[in-house]
Amino acid sequence: MKKPRVPHRTKSPRLVKELCRLAAGLAASGSRIEDTFWENRLTTKIHSQLRSGDDQNLEAALDQLYDTDTAAYGEFIYAIEAAIECSILSQEDRHYDVLMFAAPVLSWSRFSIPSGAVTEEVLANVRVPLQTHVLAEEARFVLADCLFSPDQLPRGYHFTHELASRLWTAAVAGERDVHINPGQLAETSRFLSDTRFLLGAIAVPQGKPMFRWQEAGNPSGDKGGNKLMGLEASRADILREWQTHGAEALRPLFQGCAFELLIPDGFFSAWRMTDRLARSYSMHATVDFLQSTLNITPDRLRAVIAPFYDQWLEEYRVSFMLKDQDNVLYGIVWSLVGDEDESSDTVSQIETTLRECGVELTTLLDNRFLLEYCEECGAPLFPNPDGEVVHAEFPEEGEMVPIHLH
């Protein structure tokens, strides 16, 4: 996934051209052995850029491929992500596969959703269900002692790679936790519904499984205490176990919050999964919040859905109001993610989610709205039933903290 640019040195047109050539070669490959040829050369170039601390050539090549060769763009972004989150490290003549992983948490609260430092006691409690239910039996792993908000994740490819390298090294060395200085983290924006991430790294002997779902069943019993025996544990089974036992371990962090654990996975895969699932979670959080704050049932609400464009469709914005009123109480942004575009069934997903929340009355506007924000506070503007974009205004008699939804 593309990330915000951090200005560094002047980019090299020759290197950008070479990166594009290698990515195009990989996209056009017709065999596994040719894949390996292109992947090795492309990975070498990417590693060189990550070590230099300069993202500009990677970003420039991505921009060029996005406009000219979507297949090569996909291969290139995947190669960058792989170079950042996984590697092979050696210690005492043994080789280890290493991976930076993320354990996402969806949460909402009328109060503040926690972020920042995590105590040793909580980390120790989290390690137990991770080792028992999620990670493979031979996996070593470390956790960063921080609960990251999206604002606090590393910005830029090389910064993400630096954190991954630090975590990999600690995992191979058999350490348990990696300290993150909370004073160096960005300030966390405040939302009703938001995501949090526990980050860590896994190290296994080269070629061994990292996660439970990679392991074959062990009818004789599981030394780690995992009850998913007889057949290979599916991701769904593992997720249920993690949500049950991991939630108990994390509950002290999320006092006053509703929260839901997602399955831990490689950093970028977990990030993309969270982007998708956070949209419907935010919708449910919004309706629950309005229901409890206004003391109404969801069928008293109506929703207006509208598409918002920059050069192309970027997102849908959903406004909430009472059935018998037109003033917008609240709104959420339903961003397009991955390969979603105007041809995707995004509106159907939004309408289905609204019905799940108990909101039956919806209006879809077919205007092409521009991405507009409040000039004073920067909050997105939301559509009313008349097709105007307005600031969401909660009624004065409603008691609430001044927060936005997304």
Q: What is the tens place of the pLDDT at every residue in 218-234?
A: 433 344 444 444 345 68
Angstrom distance (rounded) from CA 275 to CA 282:
11
What secondary structure letter does DSSP report for 195? Answer: E
Confidence band (pLDDT; 50, 70, 90) for 3?
very low
Query: Which tokens belong to 75?
Result: 């291969």
pLDDT at 354 exceeding the cut of 80: yes
Q: Which residue did the predictor score with more confidence, 221 or 380?
A: 380
Q: What are 335's two structure tokens?
A: 């961003």
The Cα–Cα gap between 314 and 318 comes to 13
352/11 Cα distance (integer angstroms): 46
- At 192, is the secondary structure helix, strand, or coil? coil
Q: Among 51-55, 160-164, 393-397, name the one with the lowest average pLDDT.
A: 393-397
- Cα separation, 158 vs 49, in Å, equals 8
- Predicted confidence (pLDDT) at residue 380 exceeds the cutoff of 80: yes
Rounded to whole angstroms, the Cα distance separating 34 from 30 reads 7
Q: Quick one: pLDDT at residue 396? A: 65
Query: Distance of CA 288 to CAs 57, 281, 334, Å?
Result: 45, 11, 17
Distances (CA, A) of 158 to 42, 52, 56, 90, 116: 16, 8, 10, 22, 22
pLDDT for res 217 = 59
Which positions ≥6 away from 269 have C-beta within 8 Å?
A: none
Reported residue count of the chain is 406
Q: What is the DSSP letter of 380?
A: B
Residue 306 in this model has a pLDDT that exceeds 60: yes
pLDDT band at 288 (very low <50, low <70, confident <90, very high): very high
Task: Give the percent of the chain with pLDDT over 70.
Answer: 91
Of the two residues 275 and 403, the one the predictor is more confident about is 275
Helix or strand run (H / E) with residue 361: strand 361-364
| Residue 5, φ and ψ in degrees, nearest 5 | -75, 145
pLDDT, tens digit, 9 for 90 and up, residues 310-327: 989 999 999 999 998 899
Rounded CA separation 246/129 (Å):
6
Query: In which band, very low, low, confident or very high, does the pLDDT at 191 lie, cut at 50, 70 and 90?
Result: confident
The Cα 83–Cα 98 span in angstroms is: 11
Instruction: Please compute the mean of the pLDDT values over residues 192-211 and round it to a whole number.
Output: 96
Selection from 92, 71, 90, 86 nearest residue 20 by Cα? 71
Q: Judge contact between 196 and 108, C-beta under 8 A.
A: no
Residue 397 has pLDDT above 90, yes or no: no
Tens digit of each residue's pLDDT (9 = 90 or more) over 62-101: 999 999 999 999 999 999 999 999 999 999 889 999 999 9
Lowest mean pLDDT among 103-117, 206-220, 334-348: 206-220
Lowest mean pLDDT among 2-16, 42-56, 72-86: 2-16
Greater confidence (260 vs 222) lies with 260
Instruction: Identify whether the C-beta of residue 373 lies closer than 8 Å to the C-beta of residue 392.
Output: no
Instruction: Tell me which of 10-14, 188-192, 236-240, 343-347 is least confident.
Output: 10-14
Both tokens of residue 357? 């929340």
Cβ burial of 279 (10 Å; 0-12, 13-18, 19+) is buried
Task: Give the separation between CA 380 and CA 88, rounded to whole angstroms.
Answer: 44
Q: Token pair 């966390």 is at which residue?
A: 188
